[in-house]
Structure 1
Amino acid sequence: MKKIILTFCLTIFIAINSYSQLPGSKPGGNVEGGVGFTSIGDQTYYQLSLAPEFAIGKFGVGLDINLLINTKDNTILWKEMQRGRFLRYLRWGHKGDDLYARLGMLDYSRLGNGTIMYLYKNSPSISDRKIGMELDYNFGKFGFESMYSDFAFQGVIGMRPYVKPLHFAGLASVPVIGGLEIGTTFITDLRDKSGRTVIGKDTTLSSIKVMGLDISLPLTKLPVFTTRVYTDFNKIINFGSGMASGLDINSTLPGVTIFTKIERRYANTARYMPNYFDTFYEKDFSTKAQILDTMKSVSPGTFGVLTMGILGTLNVTVAYSKMDDIPESGKLHLETSTGKIIPMITINVGYDKVKIKDSKDIFTLDERSLLYLSGGYMLNSFTRIDLTYLYTFKLNTSTGKYETERRIQPRITFVFPFGG
């Protein structure tokens, strides 16, 4: 065991030195490596980890290599390294850039205004990572957004082409209407079970398909303040339809950035569900159409997002939605990172919950929850003591269903920032 740890630590230093000495390159990022313990179910493991993140210009790569060694028999859990689970992402640019591409885990995918797909994760469990892709390109007068969830098997595929019609007429500079954008979205899950409405019986619905039309206008576009309004019309094929209207506000003040979204949602018919492809979709895809088929209410609802960044280091995002007349329809997304705002201490939290009944139900952990909680204390400039708690899901290969999984990971982390 000591030889493995020593070899692992030497590998970290060699990789860092080799990368930082590449001629002509000015990389930025950091490498984190750690030694600790983790528990998966009733088994405990030594954990050796390496999590480098590199960025050169618009290109970025993130890896998450975890070697797990059973504390009882010293066997290595090789399945944690299979099917590319060590790859978090390869990317070019960021969402919203003229050219954006990402390969690997899709953390929080969105197409268009997010009324069909928002905060979608292709990997509901860290032990069941999938390799997907996002690809967006803005040609100026028109463009597209696209995604695919899983190259190893069939999965979710989506496309949103859009056009700015007044740009073709040379009217792009006209206030408000010059920025008119019209888009259409089509998303389908290629898996047969995704459209099944009755368990154990054949159905004519082979897969779920959702399409939509969206129209948006920028109201104001100032250096410190921008606003945009939009309206979406959506149809779940063979089910119901609905619409949504919303307002986006971006504010940039000295030391503070704020993004706010407020959206009102309407079901035109029964059997309609906004944001069908959400954080929990991969866990629920085989049964979600059954729930959709029983929805008789045409209740309207409200969705809101608040994202705040302070001093470029503290970041907080809260998103919540609820249908007015459906008690168990609440959805919450919460994430925060303290960065360097608290000396010597780092705190990172990610939390998602669906089917929320009331305020008392928001922070109870069960099969409707996902939680990532990590706290760290910097012993010095490159050594940190971490404790991480994960409440997530693991695929049971015997039943084909996801079951709750808890992981507790204490470790010592070595942090090596580099570049500039």
Structure 2
Amino acid sequence: MKKITLFLFITITAFQFTKAQNNNVESAFKSAFDEDNVFNANIGLTNIDGQNYFGMRIQPEFSFGKFGLGLDIPLLFDIENGQIRKEEFNHGAGILRMIRFFRYGDKNTDPIYVKVGDLSGERLGFGSLIGNYTNATSFERRKVGISASILIKKIAGLEIIYSDLNFDGSSKMLGLRPFVKPFGRTEIPIIKTIEIGASFVSDNDDYQEEGAQQITTKYSSDGVKAMSFDLGLSLVRTNLLNLRLDAQYSKLSKNNLLAADNPTANYGAGNGFAIGLETDFRFIANTVLLNARIERQWYGDNYIAQFFNFAYEINKDARIRELLTATKSQGIFGTLSAEILKTIKIGGSLLLPDNIDSNDPNSRGAIVGLDLETKQIGKFKARGTYVKAGLNDLGDAFTLDNRSLANIIVTYKMGRFMEAGVDYQWTFAADENGNFLARNQVRPYFGISVDF
């Protein structure tokens, strides 16, 4: 009898505690970096692949309640002939590229979320198909995409990711994930957080710039299709700790044109399975916010976890061809990020197959990523991202080549509204002829920076 009484007491206490905390648990983990209001306008010399330009960039970023807006308006002039540089607007979404992002709501907390523009960091569901994704692989060819989600009456919802609003050619990468929270309207701890979803991803992109010498959408134009099923729930959900568990099964369909071009290859549909554990943790008074995810993955033949990641948009055909040599294996995916004193935000990610082999060019490569963002520390401020894929030797993780994307900005405050800085970018993307080249840009500048 005493054991039963004790059990009921603990259950009721936990129920009341969880109910009291649920109203504020999501806002407890909200990043201080999501609420910045700043107007930047800088002028300086820009060197792009050895060619010098002089001009300015206007880069305001605002947040009003649930709304967020970031712009990037370039005005660069060729030093040799004085002509304005138009390359950033000549193709694809054109002038829409000035919208770096427009956002309404928060994908993880609000019933309605919409983001237009740069989709870096987006994932669909728990990320087995679309994960660690970006549509901004090139500063010159950055795309304008859409990510949205809606949750109706806490029970049924839909996630959407569309990679590129360039409507030339066939449809670009489209991801859909309908999901249900069958007990979402109840107040039962843990049970109310159960979420069941199914993801469908397709790409029929056949867009090639006129005069391109290298075809990069031959296989994607034939159709890339994938699907997955997932189940997730929160094991602990309080103001200090949010611990979630999920499981995912995914399948990549066979690309018929790739199979026809490689009749002797052992190639067909591939599938994979993953179990993940993710946690948010905060110390009292938000001195430190932590997010960590660890995921154990099982790969079948012709399957690549997070197939639609940052490398997909660089060269779709090259990414699809990787499936030919992908063999059965296992691996680990992990991420860790920390926000310290609402001033420094740093994170890293690693996708590491078990059978990585520096002597075998066909072994599954690792992927490494780093992110850094700071607010004003003394007179300095910094922001940067770095990712590299296809690593068969982790000792090569931080050398820049055609598998790398990097951008870092360091600024120095010269006065109340004035600053000087350096903007460095390394991207790998197609030029006007469709040839893939490293794009190296260095831009020292000075300008105006006003925080609201």
TM-score (norm 1): 0.86
CA contact (8 A) 2:403 2:428 kept: no
- Report the equivalent of 1:362: 397
- Kindly indicate whether residue 151 of structure 2 is the aligned counterpart of residue 138 of structure 1: yes
Equivalent in 114, 132, 147 of residue 119 of structure 1 = 132
Map of 1:291 onto structure 2: 322
Q: What is the deviation of 1:156?
A: 0.5
Match of 2:383 among 334, 344, 348: 348
Contact 2:219 2:317 in 1 (8 A): no
Deviation at 1:302, TM superposition (A): 0.1
Match status 1:208 vs 2:224: yes
Judged with a 3 Å threshold, the aligned counterparts in structure 2 of structure 1 residues 260 and 277 are, in CA distance, closer, same or farther, namely same
Is 2:236 aligned against 1:236? Answer: no
What's 1:6 paired with?
A: none
Aligned to 1:338: 374
Q: 105, 108, 116: which one pairs with 1:103?
A: 116
Counterpart of 2:183 in structure 1 is: 166
TM superposition shift of 1:192: 5.0
2:98 is the alignment partner of 1:86: yes
Compared with structure 1, are the counterparts of its residues 229 and 203 closer, same or farther at alpha carbon in structure 2 (3 Å cutoff)?
closer
- Secondary structure at the counterpart of residue 413 of structure 1: strand
Q: Give secondary structure in 2 for the equivalent of 1:333.
A: strand
Letter in 2 for 1:221: R
* Residues 1:54 and 1:193: Cα distance change in structure 2 (over 3 Å): closer
Q: 1:180 aligns with which of 175, 178, 194?
A: 194
Identity %: 30
Structure 1 residue 394: Cα displacement: 3.5
Instruction: Check the 8 A contact 2:161/2:176 in 1, yes or no.
Output: yes
On the 8 A contact 2:204/2:220 being kept in 1, the answer is no
Residues 53-85 of structure 1 show CA distances to partners (whole Å, capped at 9, x for unaligned) of: 122221221110111101111111123244022
CA contact (8 A) 1:157 1:190 kept: no
Name 1:315's counterpart in structure 2. 345
- The separation in 2 between residues aligned to 1:182 and 1:374, in whole angstroms, is 40
Letter of the 1:39 counterpart: N
- Displacement of 1:117: 0.7
CA distance in 1, matches of 2:118, 2:241: 32
Give the conservation status (yes or no) of the 8 Å contact 1:192–1:207: no
Aligned match of 1:149 in 138, 163, 167?
163
Cα distance in 2 between the residues matched to 1:406 and 1:122: 18
State the distance in 2 between where 1:410 and 1:28 align.
Answer: 24
The CA deviation string for residues 74-105 of structure 1, in whole angstroms up to 9 with x for no partner, is: 11112324402212111112221221101122
Cα distance, 1:34 vs. partner? 0.6
Q: Verify the 8 A CA contact 1:193 1:206 in the aligned structure 2.
A: no
1:334 CA displacement: 0.6
The 3 A distance-change label for structure 1 pair 192 and 237 is farther
Q: Aligned partners of 1:204 and 1:386: how far apart in 2?
A: 40
Q: Which residue is equivalent to 1:397? A: 432
Residue by residue, what CA displacement relative to the aligned partner does 1:328-347 show, whole Å, maximum 9, x if unpaired? 5110111011212x211112
Evaluate the alpha carbon distance shift between residue 383 and residue 41 of structure 1 in structure 2; reply closer, same or farther with a 3 A threshold: same
Q: Distance in 2 between matches of 1:357 and 1:381?
A: 48
Partner of 1:416 in structure 2?
Answer: 450
Conserved? CA contact 1:46–1:68, under 8 Å: yes
Q: Count the aligned residue pairs.
A: 381
Q: Match for residue 240 of structure 2?
A: 224
**By percentage of residues, which structure has more strand?**
1
- Give the letter aligned to residue 127 of structure 1: E
Deviation at 1:155, TM superposition (A): 1.1
* Displacement after TM superposition at 1:176 (Å): 2.1
Equivalent of residue 291 in structure 2, options 244, 252, 259: 259
Residues 126 and 230 of structure 1, relative CA distance in 2, 3 Å threshold: same
Instruction: List alignment gaps of at least 5 residues for structure 1.
Output: 1-26
Shift of the alpha carbon at 1:262?
Answer: 0.4
TM-score where L is the length of structure 2: 0.80
Task: Give the match's secondary structure for 1:287.
Answer: helix
Structure 1 pair 388–193 and aligned structure 2 pair: CA distance change class (3 A): closer
TM superposition outliers: structure 1 runs of 4+ over 3 Å = 202-205
